[in-house]
Amino acid sequence: MFLLTNPRLLENKYVKSLSNDDNLNVFGDWVSDTKYEMFFKENKINIIDIKKVHFSVKDRAKLDHTYRKYLIRLTKFLNNHHCKNYPLRNWEIIIGPWLRVCLSVIYSKLLILDNIDLSKDYKFITKKFNLSDVVSTDFKEFIEMTYDDDWNTSILSMILKIYGYKIKYIDSDQITKTIKKSKSSNKFLKLFNKLITLKNRKVFITGLGMNRMLQSIATLITLNGINQDMNHNIQVIIDTNFRNKFFQSIKDNDKLNLDQNIFNLILSIIPPIYLEQFALLSDISTKLYPKNALKVITSIDHFNNETFKCWLGIKLNKKTKYLILQHGGTYGVTKYSSHHEFIEDRTASYRLTWGWNDDSKNTIPFLSLKLLTLNLTNQRNSKKIAILCTRLKSYSRHDPWDTPKWNNEYTKSIIAIINGCEPHVSKNLLVRLHPQQEQYGLDLEMLIRNQTEMYNFDNEKNIQYVMKNSQLCICTNNATAFLECLKVNKPSILFLWDYKLSPLSKNSKKDYKRLIDVGIVFIDIDKLINFLNNNFNYIDKWWKSEKVQEAKILFNEKYANTNISYLSKLFTVN
């Protein structure tokens, strides 16, 4: 019996040569894509169902514990390797985002294997690969790799070997890994930036996650230079011989030592920007940023900006006040934290929110710079109802909303809304797909088309354009889009279909209950459909009613605050 998890290999000569007696089996979120349906039937391929696989409370606690344990081990390893003595918090700033997501990806695969009945008679089919094929340059490239079929299959093959499964490596066209070339810099811009940048500045502001022009103005007037590309542009060199020591230490059929084997896997694929090229990155970042800032403020650079993370990890000390500004929705409202929140809560001196407070010492109610200048003008008189879709991923990274079960339930919910609406409503429905959906692998549009009569889809990247051309927006995920709608006073509904899979936090329940009472938030799909069918011609009247507006204003004050007076907190925090 053979097992396949890579859709790219379906057309491979070896895979196609397998007879029906060979019993080819497939699994993964990608198998639900309708473009494979006929192929599976014609070739009598069996689908192993993973749609019920979900991260439990126990699983999350295990992941958190493993993260902390591996972080301690990596801190010791990297300090020894680089002859440094950086504290754990400093290394967490540098490698924490990568380690957290990497472990989540690995554990998502372990979770599937532990929740399906998979016989050891299966032989897993994967492409031949080299270690360099699965090592990312940095965290940004790592994220891109987590959506790649070949990369995921290669990582899974390593885990399956630990579990004692046999692997069948087949020849296939190898993907050449491209090195990003440095952009030619504008000499005048570089000189101008140097002249207006105060190297000895004590307050350092970067990556505010706001309008690019406004961010440039903000950094300019605070002598932090202008908004510029801070990519490291280091040509990566991988020491294969050094890494092979760990790669070859991953033992076959050794699940009893799973913990050590996974740690060896992590050391095998850790981005070279933290290993082989760390000394070079350190030199670049310390020359680029302030000598000794006492206050560091950012909103987005603490995850993807390697030069910033490296500089901060080197320079951070007990006197440094490290402030992270909230950069998107979902923060502070769910019981389980996203990867961003998890890292921020552990590393920041203070977290400045969009208005909410969870009573912790390092959380300070602030305002949203992202929503501050948001405005909706020239709205058109339209009957359209826009269903705003989120990203549906082929491979899980285990944020609270990111599992096979979540994917399955989410798709079913969108289809149920469309099919439940009466003709006068359904003909005015518009499904706005996430602009990056194609990148994430699943063809959500085709999944919806095949189970509904929906034909009106929109791939418009600018969500404000969709808002302007619809009378109502239905947000299908509790994220930034919902807050954007509320901020510009756009009639909107949040469908919390996943309130059991991703429950609300204790502190936010009463706030959402107020929105449920006035019809802005729904947790029951039948009630949502009834509302749409009965109120289609009265959306504006409903939205402008006193009770709805009052509930919206109270919610905005706490979760989408744009009161400019809160800006002073940036400079009063000590």
Residue-wise pLDDT tens digits, 339-390: 999 999 999 999 999 999 988 889 999 999 999 988 887 778 899 999 999 9
| pLDDT for res 183 | 45
| pLDDT for res 223 | 54
Q: How far apart are CA 486 and CA 503, in angstroms?
A: 21
Q: Residue 112: name the closest of 496, 403, 370, 529 by CA.
A: 403
Residue with tokens 């749409």: 532
CA atoms within 13 A on the CB side of 377: 3
| pLDDT for res 185 | 47
**What confidence tier does 117 reach under pLDDT thresholds 50, 70, 90?**
confident
Residue-wise pLDDT tens digits, 238-264: 999 999 999 999 999 999 999 999 999
- DSSP structure string for 290-334: -SS-SEEEESSHHHH-HHHHHHHHHH--TT-EEEEE--SSSTTTB
Tokens of 497: 């279909």
How many other C-beta atoms lie within 10 A of the C-beta of residue 46?
Answer: 12
DSSP tally for the chain: helices H, then strands E: 25, 16
| pLDDT for res 196 | 47
| pLDDT for res 231 | 64
| pLDDT for res 384 | 96
| pLDDT for res 234 | 81
**What confidence tier does 194 reach under pLDDT thresholds 50, 70, 90?**
low
The answer to whether residue 323 scores a pLDDT higher than 90 is yes
Residue with tokens 């518009």: 430
How many other C-beta atoms lie within 10 A of the C-beta of residue 560?
Answer: 24
Residue range 475-498: average pLDDT?
A: 95
| pLDDT for res 398 | 64
Burial profile 418-441: b = 16 or more Cβ within 10 angstroms, e = fewer? bebbeeebbebbbbbbbeebeebb
| pLDDT for res 17 | 85
| pLDDT for res 254 | 93
Residue spans of alpha helices (H) in 53-148: 57-82, 88-115, 139-145
Contact 180, 230 (CB under 8 A): no
Residue-wise pLDDT tens digits, 308-319: 999 999 999 989
Tokens of 70: 């591996």
Strand partners, 432: 388, 458
From start to end of 433-543, where are the E strands? 457-458, 472-475, 492-495, 521-522
| pLDDT for res 94 | 98
DSSP letter (8 states) at residue 250? S
The answer to whether residue 222 scores a pLDDT higher than 70 is no
Contact 488, 375 (CB under 8 A): yes
Tokens of 32: 């639900």
Reduced to 3 states (helix: H, G, I; strand: E, B; else coil), residue 267 is helix
The mean pLDDT value of the chain amounts to 89
**What confidence tier does 430 reach under pLDDT thresholds 50, 70, 90?**
very high
**What confidence tier does 184 reach under pLDDT thresholds 50, 70, 90?**
very low
Residue with tokens 């020894």: 80
Residue range 481-491: average pLDDT?
A: 95
Residue-wise pLDDT tens digits, 270-288: 999 999 999 999 998 888 8
Residue spans of alpha helices (H) in 205-300: 212-221, 240-247, 258-269, 278-288
Contact 236, 218 (CB under 8 A): no
Torsion of CA 381, 383, 384, 386, to 10 degrees: 90
Q: How far apart are CA 436 and CA 410, in angstroms?
A: 17
Q: How far apart are CA 12 and CA 18, in angstroms?
A: 10
Contact 331, 360 (CB under 8 A): no
**What confidence tier does 480 reach under pLDDT thresholds 50, 70, 90?**
very high
More confident residue, 229 or 518: 518
| pLDDT for res 116 | 87
Q: 164's torsion region: left (phi>0), alpha (psi -120 to 50) or beta?
A: left
CA atoms within 13 A on the CB side of 196: 17
Residue range 195-223: average pLDDT?
A: 68
Q: How far is CA 469 from the centre of its chain?
A: 28
Percent of the chain predicted with pLDDT > 70: 90
Q: How far apart are CA 193 and CA 225, in angstroms?
A: 5
Q: Which of 21-30, 448-457, 528-537 holds the top average pLDDT?
A: 528-537
Burial profile 490-512: b = 16 or more Cβ within 10 angstroms, e = fewer? bbbbbbbbbbebbebbeebeebb
Residue range 481-500: average pLDDT?
A: 95
Residues in Cβ contact with 155 at an 8 Å cutoff, skipping those fewer than 6 apart: 105, 106, 109, 134, 265, 269
| pLDDT for res 42 | 84
Cα 193 to Cα 54, 286, 299, 312, 411, distances in angstroms: 49, 16, 21, 21, 48
Q: How far apart are CA 208 and CA 458, in angstroms?
A: 30
The answer to whether residue 428 scores a pLDDT higher than 80 is yes
Residue range 456-473: average pLDDT?
A: 89
How many other C-beta atoms lie within 10 A of the C-beta of residue 37?
Answer: 14
Residue with tokens 């007879």: 19
Count of residues for the chain?
A: 574
